[in-house]
Structure 1
Amino acid sequence: MKNALSATFGLLALSAAVIASAADMPVVKPVRGTIDSFENNTLNFTTRAGAHQSISVTDKTGVRLVSKGDIASIKSDSFIGSAATPQADGTLKALEVAVFEPSLKGSGEGHYGWQNADGSTGTMTNGTVGKLTGTNGHTLSVSYKGGEKQLVVPDDVPIAYIQAGKPEQLVKGAKVVVFPAEDGKTARGVAVGKDGFQPPM
């Protein structure tokens, strides 16, 4: 019993340490919403909370077109991004996975804090898939500059495919995830759903 209690307390302590380390990282805070209009290089959108916001889109803003994907599109050497929840055993449990087209390999590479749609803080890992195994759902080895993570992808997790997009695809009614620059006035990037698709990140 003593050993069992020690193991339990050890697991809880490890879990707390994992969560704390995730919270200590710089956190990316995207804004999610629906486009109201895009004119004169200004993107007007309504957030999921119902607030109306505007942000400038410049020639440096990366526009990405996001469509529905599937687990079969994740292969060894695929470049992916995944919002996830750190687990006590050191793995990451995916909340979604986005597969980038080959020309976008390296986009946002790394492992950092991420604010989820519900306001909770998890992690985002962008890197190259190495080994894939089939236990506990689908387990991927994801490497990036400076590290590697084991990502567990449950069967019910949404999969998206990301392509290079164009500003003219920022149309009224499209679902977007906006990444504000440090000044808060211009967009560093905008992920826009294709044909009504809602980007899951």
Structure 2
Amino acid sequence: MSRRRLPKIAALLALGLSAFLATISVVDAQSARVRVRGTIVSLDGSVLNVKTREGTMAAVTLNSGLMVSTVVNASLDDIKPGDYVGVASVPKADGGDGALEVLVFPAAMKGTGEGSFAYDLKPNSTMTNATVSNAVKAVEGRELTLTYNGQEKKMAVPAGTPVVTIASATSADLVAGAPVIINSDKAADGSLSTARVIVDTKGVVPPM
């Protein structure tokens, strides 16, 4: 492969991932967009059959120009001020927010989907895409100070919280048994389609 093509490929990858992750915090209130989490059962032509986490089956048509990505483990200790992250969290009993997972965005994707939104990972969960302004050790784990749209939020990240970042994958990785997360578009007839899939390829289940 020509070295001249590498920057272009990297740019296309970042663009595709940005499009995927820009939707990771938002599901249309009228269900025009549906987030599918589950395990691949089969790939029949351009239709990906998924057993969802709820136990139902979802058939998702893969659009042309499909972008497939995966997640790999990252380290909480490596998160530093200036990093851009997406943190799914729930309210803590003693106040504040406690992280359920942390996604460290590649540097080229800083600013993607910035804000804090209701999320569907767990009941009452929120997704916050923000810049880390401070990262300090806490009694257990770390505390991140996140800034977004002129606002600030402190986030407790307990030890053992899944921390991942995005890496490239291919349609060949869409195999039976692989966990996936898909932000799909729902047509008027109820059918689902997508141009972006995140799949487990290295034993790291997408925690988002």
Same fold (TM over 0.5): yes
Residue 136 of structure 2 is aligned with which of 130, 133, 136? 133
* Aligned residue runs from structure 1 range 117-132, under 5 A: 119-132=122-135
Aligned-residue offset at 1:52: 1.8
Q: Match for residue 97 of structure 1?
A: 102
Q: 1:77 and 1:165, CA in 2 relative to 1: closer, same or farther beyond 3 A? A: farther
Q: Match for residue 68 of structure 1?
A: 73
Q: Percent identity?
A: 34
Distance in structure 1 (CA, Å) of the matches to 2:113 and 2:195: 11
Determine if the alignment matches structure 1 residue 85 to structure 2 residue 95.
no
Aligned-residue offset at 1:67: 1.8
SS in 2 for 1:168: helix
Q: 1:110 and 1:89, CA in 2 relative to 1: closer, same or farther beyond 3 A? A: farther
Which is worse superposed, 55-64 or 90-99? 55-64
Please tell me whether the aligned partners of residues 68 and 159 of structure 1 are also in contact (alpha carbons under 8 angstroms). yes
Aligned-residue offset at 1:160: 1.5
Q: Match for residue 11 of structure 1?
A: none
Aligned-residue offset at 1:124: 0.4
SS in 2 for 1:72: helix
Report the RMSD for the aligned CA atoms in angstroms.
2.8
Q: Larger radius of gyration, structure 1 or 2?
A: 1
Please tell me whether the aligned partners of residues 38 and 51 of structure 2 are also in contact (alpha carbons under 8 angstroms). yes
Give 1 or 2: higher helix fraction.
1
Which is worse superposed, 144-153 or 74-83? 144-153
Determine if the alignment matches structure 1 residue 149 to structure 2 residue 153.
yes
Q: How many residues are matched?
A: 175
Unaligned runs of 5+ in 2: 1-28
Q: Could you state the TM-score of these two structures normalised by the residue count of structure 1?
A: 0.73
Q: Match for residue 114 of structure 1?
A: 119
